[in-house]
Structure 1
Amino acid sequence: MDGKAWFTVAVIVALGLAVAAAVLFARVLKTRRLLVDSGIPLRDKALFWVAVIYTVSPADLIPDPVYLDDIGVLLLALRSLQAAAAAVRPAKGPDGV
């Protein structure tokens, strides 16, 4: 492969990572409604805001053309919020009530 082909591949990968980070960021923002639940611990609420601030801030562990660190922080926030919400919700019986 010549230099132009490598550049094209790098641009496509960078765009794919940017789209993945944007989708996860949107999911984290949609998950914000879980913060209204009073039973969710403050740690999980704080993790939501840390993930949002880290994603939009210019300071990153890995420079911004590579969004792997942003994706990791967003996935961690999503999993934490969903686990906290599941722990707070009462367990449903076999009849769905």
Structure 2
Amino acid sequence: MDGWDVFWLVAAGVVIAATLAVAVTLLVKLVRARRLLGATGIPMSSKVLFWASVVYLVSPVDLLPDPVLLDDIGFLLVALRSLHKAAERAGVTGRVRPEGGPDAVGGPLG
């Protein structure tokens, strides 16, 4: 192996590690955002945008080839931001009460 082979191997490893870090972060945000989908007061358009981005993420049809996930990640980030902004405007938080009462997804916890 010469110097360039090692360089490209390390560069590929860094790109793969960065992609996995972004994917894990988005997965955590998706799980947290799922709680908001059942809340009332959030416009249906924000919920539909979220589900459309999830469908686009797993669909084989993309604007960019699949190894380049920039379009998928970008669309998902826009949908998550829209969902969270709509939840803020509606006064809904994604936090769940420990006792899981009737207001499991609701206003600020007191």
TM-score band (shorter)?
A: 0.7 to 0.9
How far apart are 1:5 and its partner, in Å? 2.0
When you count helix as a share of all residues, which structure comes out higher?
Answer: 1
Aligned residue pairs total: 92
- Superposed displacement of residue 21, structure 1: 2.6
Q: Which of structure 1's runs of 4+ aligned residues deviate more than 6 A?
A: none
The change in CA–CA distance for 1:59 and 1:18 in structure 2 (over 3 A counts) is: farther
Amino acid at match of 2:8: W
Alpha-carbon offset, residue 28 of structure 1: 1.9
Cross-structure match for 2:63: 61
> Which stretches in structure 1 are left out of the alignment for 5+ residues?
91-95
Structure with more relative contact order (C-alpha pairs < 8 Å, separation 6 or more): 1
Give unmatched runs, 5+ long, in structure 2. 93-108
In structure 2, C-alpha distance between the alignment counterparts of 1:67 and 1:87, rounded to whole Å: 30
Deviation at 1:3, TM superposition (A): 4.1
For the pair shown, the structure with the greater C-alpha radius of gyration is 2
Over the aligned positions, Cα root-mean-square deviation in angstroms equals: 2.3
Whole-angstrom CA distance in 2 between matches of 1:83 and 1:31: 11
Match of 1:81 in 2: 83
Structure 1 residue 4: deviation in Å? 4.5
Structure 1 Cα separation of the partners of residues 30 and 82 of structure 2? 11
Q: Percent identity, please.
A: 45
Q: Equivalents in 2 of 1:17, 1:82: separation in Å?
A: 23
Q: CA deviation at 1:77?
A: 1.3
What is the TM-score when the length of structure 2 is the normalising length?
A: 0.69
- Which residue of the partner structure matches residue 31 of structure 1? 33
Task: Tell me the equivalent position of 2:45.
Answer: 43
Worse-matched range after superposition: 41-50 or 9-18: 9-18
SS in 1 for 2:64: coil
